[in-house]
Amino acid sequence: MSAVVVSHNGARWIPRLLAAIETAASAPDRLVAVDTGSTDDSRSRLVASVGVDEVLDAPVDTGFGAAVAHGLASLPPVDVPAERRWLWMLHDDCAPAPDALRELLAVATSAPDIAVVGPRVRGWPRALRLLEVGVSISGTGHRETGLEPGEYDQGQHDDPRDVLAVGSAGMLVRMDVWEALGGFDPQVPLFRDDVDFGWRVASLRQRVVVAPAALVFHAEAATRGVRAIDNAAPSPHRADRRAALYTLLVNGALATLPWRYLRLGLGSLLRTIGFLVGKLPRAALDEVWAMVGVLGRPDVVIRGRSTRRRQSLGGRPPDRRAASRLLPPWWLPYAHGADSWFGHVASGLGDRAGAAGSSVRQLRSGRRGGSALETGPVPDEAEDLPAGAGPLLAHPLLAVTGLLTFLALVATRGLLGAGFLQGGALLPVPGSSSAWWQLYTETWHPVGLGSDAPTPPYVAVLAVAGTLLLGKAWLVADLLLLFGPVLGAAGAYVAARRLVTGRTLRAWVALSYAAILAASGVAAGGHLGTVAAMVMVPWVVRAAAPLVDSERRIPWRAGFATGVALSLLVAFVPLAWPMAVATTVVAMAASVLTRRMGRLGPLTASVALPVVLLLPWSLGFLEEPRRFLVEAGVVDPTALGAAEIGWQLPFGRLGDLSAAPWWLTLGFVLAAVVALARSSARTRVAGAWVVMAIALGTAAIVGDEVVRLPGTDQLAHVWLGFPVLVVQAAGLAAAGFAADGLRADVSSGSFGWRQPVAGLTVVAASLSTVGALGWWAVVAPHGDLDRRPATTLPRYMVDASEADAAQRILVIRTDTDPVSYDLRAGDGRRLGDDGVLPGHESSELTTLVADLVSQGRPTDIARLADFAVAYVVVPRPSDPEVVADLDAISGLTRASTNARRLAGWQVNVPTGLVRVLGSDTPEAAAAATVLGYHDRTDEQVEKGGEGRVLVVSTPSGRDFEATLDGAPLEVVDDSSLEAGRVFKLGADGGRLIVSAQGSRTWWLVGQAAAWVLALVLAAPGARRRDDEQEDDR
């Protein structure tokens, strides 16, 4: 019996190995050691123990199998048949138990077909943790041991059994089998060489048996990265993965080879994506290189399979099916994946539940007057809870959200029920979130006269939210506008965990943040953009907290996380971006002054990322910077300027009758001012005041600017809701910073003016919180917000407008001065349409409406057809003279309507977005052919007259193109048509295609890829399992 020890920089483990060999109950007949270019004391220690003649040298890149073969070659021949000779292989980082060799030989000689025997392997140096009791390989290349992670040896694996393979550390091999197989395959120099060898042994119809009575301790130094490897690949992971792929491809049955190629290729790609998502780029690169090195080298696989076909024992060829019963089932790796995922979830829930239960047990024990046992760490919220506190107080976030939900139900009791929320700056939501997806992805929008403007990104955010809510778009608006303070408070509590200590202070911050939102009245005005932005503000603060932490190294992840959260905020309120840039510039200046240059990169990424993620919409701000002043929703014509709001602005008032009295938030302002006197929190308080100053400056700069109501020539003041509420939120943050640890400081100091001032400030701030929330629940009006049907137009008109012809409905209001109008497509404007409306009204349509209500003529009917108007509607109250004039126009026929609500007429000429006219004269409209349009027109047209033209009835028709049998149609400049683009069709027939030019496909693909990359960079990185402690017991 010969033993070969292979060493490579194993000086730290060799003494233990040599001592184990010397004290073994059974010693090998011959022992030789092979050192593969060690640079430590490995060789000298081997020489001192076994002698210089028994220590051989090999190049540093020699694999384990080659080193064993080199050692065997140096041994003198013996006159013993190969089937009676045995080889014992030992690693330099393993240590066999005294009776290990004796137990291995006992099993090896118990049956003539046993060719390989392996020991039970436990962790180094004398750990009870099992590493191997035989090994196998799954169909995805995972090394299967049949053990649970961290399983301890309790005698549960004491019976010998057949396995596919055993580890090479302590492996005992019959020499005739070793010689028949040529030893280990050189293509697997380090990892999986044992599995490949065992698979080949099984193919020769020989048995591989594990002998649990033989015990070996193994440090697994190469696998765990404790020492560098020089003979396989730049990293252990790459070497192991390459060897796994190679082993599966060269040993499996030929019939399954295509399936294995496909499975391993797709699996490697998915693993690569998983490593990238887990922010392990080096592991992802290793995976790619391993895949390319094996799957991309079919010649290597072919040579490996050919070599195995030629191997035989006793003249019997190998049988690849012989090993199949020893392989794990195909589904095992997927079961492991599911178990791992559910295990992580259960572990997280169990940790939280255990911690909560521990804190509750402590509370109960304290209530009984006993002492609670220390059962482990508890959540921050459970620290220092008073005796007698209930479970809700152990979870203040649950208590806060529960209380606010109840108050929200009381406050919005008149807005619950059927219908859609609308009014003020809020348009009714569409029927489902799919309408938002369609609006966001389409190139041309059939809104009003049509628009090719990029859809604002907040529509995509709403679409995602609606999809998560099972397509219920109405629920998105309801949650934001009716329960916005609840959502904001939940985020504020989560953010407060990173900013302040103490559950009471965090609960006050959350409740006060909800009070600010409720008292402002922004929800009552339908300002969904402001509400959504304020719901996002705490998450931006939470993500940005590490960027200004003076005691920690700034991770790039914090910059990307802040950028992602800021992008969602800016999608609703673009004005937030220049405010964030100003804040970032101040933070960067402070970093330079304090010589913390490592912050500059993450800070820059945090404000640069929204520009990238919101493309191409963000490019519009370069063309028209005034777009920063318009947020999600309809422009509010009743908004007041900063000069009109005046001194009430710092108190969060916007001049809205739906807002609470200014004095209800006086306590917050007082607390923010008093916070400046707290010296121990001066830095953080000053940071909050910087944000307040930036928000106040923004409100002052843009406060008297005006913006145009989309689709009209009317002007309105910029809505200042967001900067004003940021002033309040920053003041609340300053008060929270100053209150952090205030009780201990006040109680430890001598009595003076600070104690009464602090007490009065706490009382004032608390009264503001209680007063504002009470006003919201009991007194707060609903303002312009109401719940009613989305449209009052007859259903048949809406259905006709939504049909393929894409007809429109002209709604004329005669109760305004001057007369106003609205051109509707489908069931009217919905939330999201406000972002794509044309910036100016159509002068041609305005003139046409004026002519209709003054002295309508039959020629106006053709003009209506130019705008694809199929119906004209005048809602009540209406001017009787206008109704009479419309009744008198030839070409308008009274339509069936509810006379108490509106009067309606149908246009008696063919109308639609795309029409074919016999000529370019107005008289040809009466005989027009209307073609269907749904995203595009694709119809077969017959031959006709030479003067035929094709009309696309939209001012943005210049962005349409038309082809006939693939040939582009010539554009005709025809001033006789009120709107649209005219193409020369002529007499030819064929396949006619009309579509909007350009496509958003590549923009959307690029944007999706950017968001995925940003989310990956912002997500917490996965961590590899730490190396086990060497003193693991």
Upstream peptide bond of 616 is cis (omega within 30 degrees of 0):
yes
Q: Where in the chain are the domains?
A: 2-235, 336-394, 396-432+472-786, 787-907, 914-996
Angle between helices 473-482 and 484-499 (to 10 degrees): 70
Which of 800, 820, 813, 823 lies closest to 883, judged by CA?
A: 813
Residue 3: strand pairing partners: 31, 88
Region of 941 (left: φ > 0; alpha: ψ -120 to 50; beta: rest) is: beta
Instruction: Give 996's contacts (C-beta < 8 A, 6+ positions apart).
Output: 443, 444, 452, 936, 959, 960, 961
108 and 114 in contact (C-beta within 8 Å)? yes
How many C-beta atoms lie closer than 10 Å to residue 377's C-beta?
Answer: 12
Q: How far does Cα 545 stand from its chain's mean position?
A: 20
For 826-889, strand residue ranges (E) read 869-875
- Rounded-to-integer distance, Cα 177 and Cα 200, Å: 10
**Nearest-5° Cα angle at 715, 713 to 721:** 140
Q: What is the 3-state secondary structure (H, E, C) of 786-834?
A: EEECCCCCCHHHHHHHHCCCCCEEEEEECCCCCCEEEEEECCCCCCCHH
pTM: 0.71
Q: Identity (one letter) of the amino acid at 333? A: P
- Rounded-to-integer distance, Cα 628 and Cα 702, Å: 10
- Rounded-to-integer distance, Cα 67 and Cα 189, Å: 10
Handedness of CA 964, 968, 971, 977 (dihedral sign): positive
Token pair, residue 33, equals 């050691």
Element (H, E) at 499: helix 484-499
Instruction: Give 59's contacts (C-beta < 8 A, 6+ positions apart).
Output: 36, 37
290 and 243 in contact (C-beta within 8 Å)? no
- Rounded-to-integer distance, Cα 917 and Cα 808, Å: 19
For 533-586, strand residue ranges (E) read none
Q: For residue 240, report the phi and psi dihedrals to the nearest 5 degrees.
A: -65, -45
420 and 785 in contact (C-beta within 8 Å)? no
Q: What is the DSSP string of 943-957?
A: ---TT-EEEE-SGGG
Q: Are strands 936-941 and 902-907 parallel, antiparallel or unpaired?
A: unpaired
- Rounded-to-integer distance, Cα 43 and Cα 6, Å: 10
Instruction: Give 75's contacts (C-beta < 8 A, 6+ positions apart).
Output: 2, 30, 32
- Rounded-to-integer distance, Cα 251 and Cα 196, Å: 8
- Rounded-to-integer distance, Cα 552 and Cα 555, Å: 9
- Rounded-to-integer distance, Cα 695 and Cα 701, Å: 10
Maximal CA-CA distance, the chain: 125
Q: What is the 3-state secondary structure (H, E, C) of 633-699?
A: CCCCCCCCCHHHHHHHHHHCCCCCCCCCCHHHHHHHHHHHHHHHHCHHHHHHHHHHHHHHHHHHHHH
Q: Are strands 970-972 and 967-968 parallel, antiparallel or unpaired?
A: unpaired
Residue 424: the pLDDT is 84
163 and 211 in contact (C-beta within 8 Å)? no
CA of 366: how far to CAs of 269, 360, 378, 389, in Å? 55, 10, 16, 10
644 HSE (CA, 13 A, CB side): 15
67 and 188 in contact (C-beta within 8 Å)? no
- Rounded-to-integer distance, Cα 640 and Cα 645, Å: 7
CA of 822: how far to CAs of 449, 713, 750, 767, 846, in Å? 10, 13, 70, 47, 10
Q: For residue 757, report the phi and psi dihedrals to the nearest 5 degrees.
A: -65, -45
Which of 978, 939, 932 lies closest to 955, judged by CA?
A: 978
In 3-state terms, what secondary structure has residue 139?
coil
How many C-beta atoms lie closer than 10 Å to residue 999's C-beta?
Answer: 12
721 and 640 in contact (C-beta within 8 Å)? no
pLDDT average per 10 residues of sequence, the chain (1033 residues): 94 94 90 94 93 92 93 91 93 94 95 95 89 93 88 90 95 95 91 94 95 94 78 73 94 90 91 80 88 92 93 86 87 74 51 46 42 39 43 73 91 84 86 88 80 87 92 91 92 90 88 91 88 93 82 75 93 93 91 82 90 87 82 81 79 74 86 82 87 91 80 76 90 88 63 67 86 87 80 81 77 83 81 78 81 81 84 88 86 84 87 80 70 79 84 70 88 63 85 80 86 84 46 39
Q: Identity (one letter) of the amino acid at 551? A: E
Q: For residue 65, report the phi and psi dihedrals to the nearest 5 degrees.
A: -65, -40
Which of 767, 690, 796 lies closest to 733, judged by CA?
A: 690
Q: For residue 412, report the phi and psi dihedrals to the nearest 5 degrees.
A: -110, 25
Which of 430, 460, 433, 462 lies closest to 447, judged by CA?
A: 430
CA of 52: how far to CAs of 31, 48, 572, in Å? 12, 8, 78
Instruction: Give 769's contacts (C-beta < 8 A, 6+ positions apart).
Output: 508, 511, 512, 515, 667
Q: How far does Cα 356 stand from its chain's mean position?
A: 28
CA of 546: how far to CAs of 382, 538, 541, 560, in Å? 24, 14, 9, 12
Residue 977: the pLDDT is 54
5 and 17 in contact (C-beta within 8 Å)? yes
Residue 340: the pLDDT is 62
**How is domain 2-235 classified at the architecture level of CATH?**
Alpha-Beta Complex (3.90)
Q: Is 621 exposed, middle or buried (0-12, 13-18, 19+ CB in 10 A)?
A: middle
